[in-house]
Amino acid sequence: MKQLVIFPLAAMLCACGSDYTFNSNLDRKAFKEYFKPSEVQLFDHSQPTVAYDTLGLVEGSACQMEENGVPASLADARTDARRKAADIKANGLIIKSCTELKEPGKGCYSSAICVGQAIRLHQKN
């Protein structure tokens, strides 16, 4: 009976002690790009409470490319605008206007567009 317990326990300990390396098919650059919008604070119906510098206007868009595809959403358009704001080193985005277009046009069955002001928030001291 002791051998039934000792053998599996020894096998598990040996497995933990091996020189195991982790390899992933995740691309580090794609991973960083995926989380880039989280670096930008969104101000949708409010203004920042700290001082900031304006970096420029950015436009985010979403497109429903197939008739039976997922409809374009304002959330996706805002995320695209945040990504573009991060590309110009902004850490904040003040949304100025968002619009959904339900009728087909420009290769999209539906589309959403958000325009905002990319800003660099000053750090509180």
- At 3-24, the pLDDT tens digits run 666 666 666 666 555 566 666 6
Distance CA 39, CA 30 (A): 15
- Note the pLDDT tens digit of each residue in 74-99: 999 999 999 999 999 999 999 999 99
pTM of the model: 0.73
Closest CA to 53 of 88, 104, 90, 86: 90
CA Rg value for the chain: 24
Q: Where are the domains of the chain?
A: 39-125
Please name the CATH architecture into which domain 39-125 falls. 2-Layer Sandwich (3.30)
Please state, in angstroms and rounded to a whole number, the distance separating the CA atoms of residues 121 and 1: 67
